[in-house]
Amino acid sequence: MRACFAILAASTSHAEDDMSTDPLNTDVTPHLVDRAPLFEQEGPRGVAVRSLLRIESTSIPAARVVHGELATHRHWDEFERALYQELVYGTLRWRAKLDWVLTGFYHGDFPKCMPAVQNALRVALYQILMISKVPPMAAIESAVRTIERLKSTEHATKLGSVLRTIARNVAGIRYPPREQLALHLSIVHSHPLWLVERWIERYGVELTEQMLAAALERAPLYLAANSLRVSDEHLRLWLQEHGIPFEVSPLHQHLLRVNPFADYEALPIWQEGWFYTTDPMSTTAAAILDKLSPRSLVFVCRETSSAVLPFAELAETHNAELLIWTASPTGSPSARDHERLGWHAPSVITELGDRTYEVVCVEAPSSGIGLWRRMPERKWRSDSLDIPRAIGRSRAMLDQASAAVAPGGTLLVMVASTEPEETTSLVEWLVATHPDLKQVPISPDSVHSSLLQDDGTLQSLPHIHRCDSVFVALFEKTR
């Protein structure tokens, strides 16, 4: 549960002792298991390449791929598990910068080379540029062996030479000049150019740089105590007694921030249902509704996620009926969590019908920009048209959801975005097109003051709150 780089440092100390004074002229070739699958032969590094290839060639979320590999490789030690996660998520976060460097040194057209080779080079370069405690040659030789199996010895030797040249000239790498401001920030902070141009125009250079830098940080992991089994204090005490460091979230005292590479599912208290994982904005939104003591609650989303869990706990606390309306009801992770936590299983429906509910919570479709810190793969799957596409989907969902709110009931809307077209403009549209809905300013007594905007809505931002960027608005339906 230690910080990732502390784990990497401790785990590589013995390897460094055995190496010569020149880290680029060393023999760190590990023993390879006979007949092991191609990528498995390089351990966490090879599996990271395979994972990146799968993420790039499919629409599967990176978190699902990583979770599956960690479950498969239970034999990995703490360092190997941390290294694997760092390589996958780190390479995704910094892909634009890595590709800029590789394109400059690669002899040929880097974007046109085999995708598996591309990812092997990215993983190696990420270690060279970003992980100081990993010997460069360990990363380079692993990439060379992988490329040799994919292509040929000659090809692998040439690309190994490219990586060695980069490693020897890290200080001399040149990025786009500051005069080409948008391109410079896009490469240096590894974000799509269209978004950087958009943010510079809207927020100015200084704020844009702060937001880009914050969005590159590792996504935090938050634990929330299952209040029906243990108290917040009881969970904190258990973590302290077992030497697991944590911080209490400044946005919500119910949440504990822990090492994002922690194997929390291995803890006995996970199986005993002491806690669940979620995010600060979902927890804050559920806390807003807590004072209403709802008797019926429906959570509307395109696909179920951990965001529903604080609302499920709210329903359990008030003995309220909970329904989940989703377009993807099969394989819901929340159903498994409910069983583990000892909660009543929610009813999952695909149509709302004519029934109305006291409280309706909507996790509205969005471009996903607000989730890029936690889901960095989405940066490279997106384009500027995702915003108008998402607006259309959000309006369609809210039209149906608003009809399901009982007279005098409450509608709560969450949107994972920083963009006004998807947030404040959505509120204006909803009020203008649904005269029976009235926006209700969120009380400052129930939320952290830094989240509250002048119009009574909430907005988290990466450079201020160090979490997903999520917008929250509250409405009341007239009787």
Q: Can you give the pTM of this predicted structure?
A: 0.88
Q: What is the DSSP letter of 452?
A: B
CATH architecture group of domain 4-172: Orthogonal Bundle (1.10)
* 219 vs 446, residue with greater confidence: 219
| pLDDT on residue 214 | 95
Q: Where in the chain is the domain with CATH 3.40.50.150?
A: 281-477
- Indicate the burial class of 290 (C-beta count within 10 angstroms; 0-12, 13-18, 19 or more): middle
Residue 446 has pLDDT above 90, yes or no: no
CATH architecture group of domain 281-477: 3-Layer(aba) Sandwich (3.40)
Q: Which residue has the tokens 């990586």?
A: 163
Nearest Cα to 362, choosing from 282, 435, 258, 462? Answer: 282
Rounded to whole angstroms, the Cα distance separating 164 from 166 reads 5
How far is CA 316 from each of CA 41, 134, 294, 412, rounded to the nearest angstrom?
47, 47, 10, 19
What mean pLDDT do residues 276-284 have? 95
Q: Where in the chain is the domain with CATH 3.30.70.1170?
A: 221-278
The tens digit of pLDDT for each residue in 447-469 reads 999 999 999 999 999 899 989 99
What mean pLDDT do residues 396-424 have? 96
What mean pLDDT do residues 78-98 have? 96
CA 266 centroid distance within chain: 21
Rounded to whole angstroms, the Cα distance separating 280 from 260 reads 15
What mean pLDDT do residues 357-369 have? 95
Residue 241 has pLDDT above 60, yes or no: yes
Q: Where in the chain is the domain with CATH 1.10.940.10?
A: 4-172
Nearest Cα to 284, choosing from 317, 319, 314? Answer: 314
The tens digit of pLDDT for each residue in 289-325 reads 998 999 999 999 988 888 999 999 999 999 999 999 9
| pLDDT on residue 367 | 95
The yes or no reply on domain 221-278 and CATH 3.30.70.1170 is yes
3-state helix vs strand vs coil in the chain, percent to 5: 55, 15, 35
Q: What is the DSSP letter of 33?
A: P
The tens digit of pLDDT for each residue in 329-349 reads 655 556 788 899 999 988 888
- Mean pLDDT, rounded, of the chain: 89
Please write down the HEC assignment for all residues of 168-193: HCHHHCCCCCCCCHHHHHHHHCCCCH
